[in-house]
């Protein structure tokens, strides 16, 4: 049996109760009231779950060798990466797909963020362990100034974000400064793993499926942010004619560039690093010259052109008519 509402046809039971509404209300009640999946319990679930796997992997690896510790550095960060990608995409998903789940994610962003920090702490411990316990191995095989600057900046931002996510730290910042810190921190902490997986694929030609999965998730997370930004602009202004066509072409080009990095990375890197100043910057400036982010830049440019002010959006009623 179906019932016609302004959202279309929805099933109702023989008793006249709209089942999808009941499920929706129950889901809302569950996600907002259940203590187990909100706030600190959610943090502890995520943290303990990852910790169990971390302890298991530590027991299986030979931690008396630098190779064993290095493997744990790599393993531990894989538990953190999905969480930072999720955090990056959360507000965009809430704007693009408002639902019980995305509202629940929005409410719990802080706790997912702290679970990310806890997973990163494991990596921090193993980095400390290898650099202090095996300095020869560390400085010969791992240390590279630019990576060190990128990684340390990431940990510094993460520490500042943790401290300011509690009232005692938050009171030192204005609301605007707090937003700047947390947004910049999320972008940086997203950019680091995203670029690692891009290089693994586009430069090293990785055959590991996890590299492709994480790259895809990282790309999607940021592409969703661009789409949400575009949706906001689209509501008030839409491009027409040449701007609209150029916007669509660039969006397609951005998506194409995202899946063909291994083809263009070499010539584009050569071009971007042709000058001596650029080569110097590459030695220390995090992410320079930003090859992994070029497809997203093109996607953003396309979205901007598609939503440039050439004709104001029609009011809802006129669109429907």
Q: How far is the CB of 221 from ligand HEM (least distance, A)?
A: 13
Tell how far CA 305 is from the center of its chain. 24
Q: Output 34 or 152, the one with its CB closest to ligand HEM.
A: 152
Q: Does 81 bind ligand HEM (CB under 6 A)?
A: yes
Per the structure block, which two tokens stand in for 235? 């509501």
Cβ-based burial of 226 (10 A; exposed 0-12, middle 13-18, buried ≥19): buried
Q: Output 145 or 175, the one with its CB closest to ligand HEM.
A: 145
Q: How far is the CB of 131 from ligand HEM (least distance, A)?
A: 7
Q: Does 32 bind ligand HEM (CB under 6 A)?
A: no
- The residue range among 32-40, 58-66, 148-156, 226-234 that interacts with ligand HEM, by the rule CB under 6 A, is 148-156
Per the structure block, which two tokens stand in for 79? 């538990």
Backbone angles phi and psi of 45, in degrees to 5: -55, -50
Q: Three-state secondary structure along 208-263?
A: CHHHHHHHHHHHHHHHHHHHHHHHHHHCCEECCHHHHHHHHHHHHHHHHHHCCHHH
- Count Cα neighbours of 22 within 13 Å in the Cβ-side half-sphere: 8
Q: Does 87 bind ligand HEM (CB under 6 A)?
A: no
Residue from 66, 113, 154, 261 binding ligand HEM (CB under 6 A):
154
Pattern 215-254, binding to ligand HEM, x per CB under 6 A? ----------------------------------------
Q: In the range 161-190, which residues lie near ligand HEM by CB under 6 A?
A: 189
Q: Which residues contact 313 (CB under 8 A, 6 or more apart)?
A: 234, 235, 236, 237, 238
Of 176, 178, 80, 183, the closest CA to residue 126 belongs to: 80
Q: Output 115 or 227, the one with its CB closest to ligand HEM.
A: 115
Q: Output 151 or 289, the one with its CB closest to ligand HEM.
A: 151
List C-alpha distances in Å: 287 to 146, 265, 308.
Answer: 8, 14, 29
Per the structure block, which two tokens stand in for 107? 């409410």
Residue from 10, 61, 78, 163 binding ligand HEM (CB under 6 A):
78
Per the structure block, which two tokens stand in for 174? 């204005």
Return d(Cα 230, Cα 238) in angstroms, integer: 10
- The residue range among 145-153, 238-246, 269-277, 313-321 that interacts with ligand HEM, by the rule CB under 6 A, is 145-153
Residue from 196, 223, 226, 296 binding ligand HEM (CB under 6 A):
196
Q: How far is the CB of 152 from ligand HEM (least distance, A)?
A: 5
Of 108, 113, 107, the closest CA to residue 159 belongs to: 113
Q: Output 32 or 74, the one with its CB closest to ligand HEM.
A: 74
Q: Output 70 or 291, the one with its CB closest to ligand HEM.
A: 70
Q: How far is the CB of 154 from ligand HEM (least distance, A)?
A: 3
Q: In the range 47-76, which residues lie near ligand HEM by CB under 6 A?
A: 70, 73-74
- By DSSP bridging, strand 237-238 and strand 8-11 are unpaired
Query: Residues in the site for ligand HEM, rule: CB under 6 A?
Result: 70, 73-74, 77-78, 80-81, 127, 142, 148, 151-152, 154-155, 189, 192-193, 196
């Amino acid at each position: 049996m179906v019932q016609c509402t302004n959202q279309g046809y929805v099933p109702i039971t023989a008793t006249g109760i709209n089942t999808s509404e009941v499920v929706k209300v129950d889901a809302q009640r569950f996600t907002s009231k259940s203590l187990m999946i909100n706030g600190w319990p959610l943090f502890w679930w995520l943290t303990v779950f990852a910790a169990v796997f971390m302890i298991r992997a530590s027991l299986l690896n030979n931690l008396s060798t630098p190779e064993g510790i290095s493997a744990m550095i790599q393993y531990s960060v894989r538990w953190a990466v999905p969480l930072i990608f999720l955090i990056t995409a959360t507000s965009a998903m809430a704007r693009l797909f408002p639902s019980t789940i995305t509202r629940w994610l929005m409410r719990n962003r802080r706790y997912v963020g702290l679970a990310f920090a806890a997973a990163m702490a494991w990596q921090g411990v193993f980095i400390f362990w290898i650099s202090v316990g095996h300095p020869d191995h560390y400085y010969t095989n791992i240390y590279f100034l630019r990576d060190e600057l990128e990684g340390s900046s990431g940990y510094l931002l993460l520490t500042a974000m943790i401290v300011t996510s509690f009232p005692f730290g938050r009171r030192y910042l204005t609301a605007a400064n707090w937003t700047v810190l947390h947004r910049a921190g999320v972008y940086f902490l997203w950019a680091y793993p995203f670029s690692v997986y891009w290089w693994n694929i586009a430069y090293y030609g990785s055959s590991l499926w996890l590299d492709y999965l994480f790259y895809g998730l990282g790309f999607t997370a940021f592409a969703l942010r661009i789409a949400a930004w575009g949706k906001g602009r689209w509501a008030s202004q839409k491009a027409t004619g040449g701007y609209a066509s150029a916007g669509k072409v660039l969006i397609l080009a951005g998506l194409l560039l995202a899946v063909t990095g291994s083809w263009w990375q070499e010539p584009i890197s050569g071009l971007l690093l042709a000058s001596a100043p650029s080569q110097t910057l590459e030695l220390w400036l995090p992410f320079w010259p930003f090859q992994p982010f070029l497809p997203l830049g093109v996607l953003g440019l396309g979205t901007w052109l598609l939503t440039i002010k050439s004709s104001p959006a029609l009011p809802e009623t006129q669109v429907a008519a």
